[in-house]
Copies of this chain bind each other. A is one copy, B any other.
Amino acid sequence: MAHDFRVWAPGRDRVELVLGARRLPMRRSGGGWWERTVEEAGPGTDYAYALDGGPPRPDPRSPCQPHGPHGPSRLVDHAAFGWSDDTWRGTPLPGAVLYELHVGTFSPDGTFDGAIERLPHLVELGVDAIELMPVAEFPGRRGWGYDGVALFAPHHAYGGPDGLKRLVDACHAHGLGVVLDVVYNHLGPSGNYLPEFGPYFTGRHSTNWGDAVNFDGPGSDEVRALVVDNALMWLRDYHCDGLRLDAVHAIADTSAVHVLERLAEEVAELAAHVRRPLFLIAESDLNDPRFVRSREAGGYGLDAAWADEWHHALHATLTGERSGYYTDFGPLGLLAKALRQAWVYDGAWSPHRGRAHGRSPAGLSGHRFVVCAQNHDQVGNRARGERSSVLMSEGRLRIAAALLLTAPFVPMLFQGEEWGATTPFQYFTDHEDPELGRAVSEGRRREFAAFGWEPEQVPDPQDPATFERSRLDWSERDKEAQAGLLAWHRELIALRRRIPALSDGRLERVRTDHDEDTGLLTVARGPVLVAVNLGATAR
């Protein structure tokens, strides 16, 4: 047993490896890297780094944080896991139906192992892959995951590295792929020690979360390498099939080779090496084809992008809501446009933004867009985290499902949507620092003013009851109304499997017709005509 410890800390004069009570000086090895080989260290060894004599800090590339983001790191031997998915050859994104889930609330256990028990439900439903909300170590035991700070360490409360591997392995055994949500645009507000190690952030660009991650300033080569290595780790060592890149519009990079293009290139080569399809999905609200256009055509070569406008157009029509960004939606004609090309704002003037927005997606395949009728954001970023199930009639839920699952795009369901779960999905956190907890709660309430929601409606994210309330109630699934909706989803997915025209991504072949007055709308999908009545009168 021996381990070569290596850490990048370019601006430091002294770096020590902390092993229990011992502090071992590390040696400079060029390019800002420090290293030290320790004979008695190996998988399971806990360690930290001390910078210029300061307190122990976790490794920026820590593979495991058994005691949370502030504690020591632990070495992991990825080769030691007993994989049983040798015959798994991956699942391509085109033609897939995704299922987004949050590990903490998906199952009663709220762990990776807890999720495994529910996989047979997903197989019966007929989806192709799960999409896990972020699992990188975040502060506390409860959280959506977007506050992750140890990007290489699966959350300890979910089951850590081995737990995630067991889940991926079980998914593959069930014929399900795994997409992992990863956050490269910011780090959480607590436990982010990266700035102490090096120039991981830059004031050259700013984001909603403050200074941007440094993808193009001095020292950015190593920051880019960290992100690329992180992505490759999930795909190679955890056998994931794809990644969902959070909010790429907040990844500021003026480099000639954008970090997302570099990432796409590296992932393509890894796919050739592991001999299975690997894919990258961007969350972006820029409506810019560049993200998903092939690299040969001057794009970044990501495989797909979330198209939230498809959701907005549908949601505004189904609920009549017009506040916040729903200002830009509502008319049936805009829904029809979304059904044809995912993006409504393709250069058109956006009242909500007060400017023209987006660019035409012409020439792109529908397989390049992930669409949904609900997702963690659209449900969870409502004041009370209400699902569509409590906002609209069962008939409208069925309409949403039909339009989603006959779409020329990549449809995605959100956990429990398939049976119309009535449990909310609210915003919850578990910050140890009471000041930070209070700040998050207050910020949340202010944010919702734009939608006209009252501050007192917003549950306290720090209250454990907010988390508990958001847990899926699986006993609901078998109730009559829910069972009917579940059967509807199953049938639609089965229909999509059976009729090639339904998953056909050629947008130029999608024809819609609608009447604003009667609320009738049709979508022609090859031999299938999807006809829905969104008017007040039965027809």
Q: Which residues of A contact B (CB under 8 A)?
A: 87-92, 94-96, 128, 175, 265, 268-277, 293-294, 296-299, 363-365, 367, 500, 503-506
Contact = CB atoms under 8 A, between A and B. Distances in A.
Contacts of A364: 296
B87 A268 contact: no
A461 to B, nearest CB: 39
Contacts of A268: 94, 365, 505
A273 B296 CA distance: 25
Main secondary structure of the interface of A (DSSP, over half): loop
B175 A277 contact: no
Contacts of A365: 268
Contacts of A95: 271-275
Given A87-B175, A94-B272, 7 more contacts: A87-B87, A89-B90, A91-B275, A96-B275, A269-B505, A269-B506, A270-B500
A270 B506 CA distance: 12
A372 to B, nearest CB: 18
Contact of A92 (B128, B275, B298, B500): B275
A482 to B, nearest CB: 28
Residue of A96, A272, A274 with most chain B CB atoms under a 10 A cut-off: A272
A262 to B, nearest CB: 11
A272 B304 CA distance: 14
Contacts of A500: 269-270, 273
Given A277-B277, A294-B297, A504 B89 contact: no
A296 B295 CA distance: 9
Contact of A367 (B272, B277, B505): B272
Nearest to A289: B296
A504 B266 CA distance: 9
6 contacts: A94-B272, A95-B271, A270-B500, A293-B296, A296-B299, A296-B363
A94 B277 CA distance: 10
Given A87-B175, A269-B505, A500-B269, A92 B276 contact: yes
A345 to B, nearest CB: 21
Contact of A272 (B88, B363, B505): B505
Nearest to A298: B297
A92 B296 contact: no
A500 B273 CA distance: 6
A275 B95 CA distance: 6
Contacts of A294: 294, 296-297
A497 to B, nearest CB: 8
A267 to B, nearest CB: 11
A90 B91 CA distance: 9
A436 to B, nearest CB: 42
A265 to B, nearest CB: 7
A422 B11 CA distance: 64
A420 B469 CA distance: 69
A272 B503 contact: yes
A364 B272 CA distance: 15
Contacts of A94: 268, 271-272
